[in-house]
Structure 1
Amino acid sequence: MASSTPDPPGHRQVQDEQAYLLLEQLRWAGRPATCPHCSAPGRGYLLRPATGVRRTRTGADTGRRLWKCGACRRQFSVLTGTVLQGTRVPLPAWIAAVELFLSSDGPVTATQVSRATGLGREAARHVLARWQAAATVEPLCDVPGVRPQLFQG
């Protein structure tokens, strides 16, 4: 049996930050073109934490990147207005789950999501349900490489 060593301090923050950067690059090409709240073009700017490290409301370090609109003054992130908005599942786990969905030959089960992401069963079911709900709202079947049978189970 292999022994697992605990992650070094700040390890999760680095993973989170890399995941946010990846999604920002995919969604916005690195920078938001418009505010998701007021649609003001080119007014978003990155909020940098004064201490250099952003913390959650519970005090844990996070790599979440937060933006603010210069027009409406509201804060937002790359997750605002997406199926990922408000999730408590870590972003790297979501990325691993989506990778599993896209590489699967058939329907994906919650057990497979749990194994691929390291999430518990309930969290894996939640991820699977959100993914299936998103597929019915925004058809992903037009995206190359996505097969309709992925969303049946």
Structure 2
Amino acid sequence: MAKNRFSDSSGPSQRQLRVGELMRRALSDLLNRGDIHDPDLNRLSLTVGEVRVSPDLRIATIFVLPLGGGNRDEAIAGLKRNKGEIRRLLSKEVILKNAPELRFMIDDTFDRMDHTRALFERDDVRRDLDGEGPQDPDTPEDT
């Protein structure tokens, strides 16, 4: 029996990962070279953290973060304003049957890592991780 292409699998396919990484590198190069004709966007230093591509490769969600974490709204507005030009330049760099629709989002990976790190630093969490927390009454204690 053939595999259903549109079923919810455990994650993205190798093809999606490969195309996403190619797009991430190409977009990073475009932004570093200043190929986009927008002075407001060119003065920002943006990090392209990840590109997630839909299974049919028609939609690419691009996660970006300005250097230092500031000017987030300005960065997203500049990218959305120049979406057509970015799509055209990307289609020249990454050869695909169709140029994907681009969607830009802020990469909050670093914020989530900081939050997780702060949780692990809390005394009650540290106590539980060290095994000094309260015992479950159903589990026998070692004597």
Greater percentage in strand: 2
TM-score, structure 2 normalization? 0.31
Question: Which of structures 1 and 2 has the larger relative contact order (alpha carbons within 8 angstroms, sep 6+)?
Answer: 2
TM-score, structure 1 normalization? 0.30
Greater percentage in helix: 2
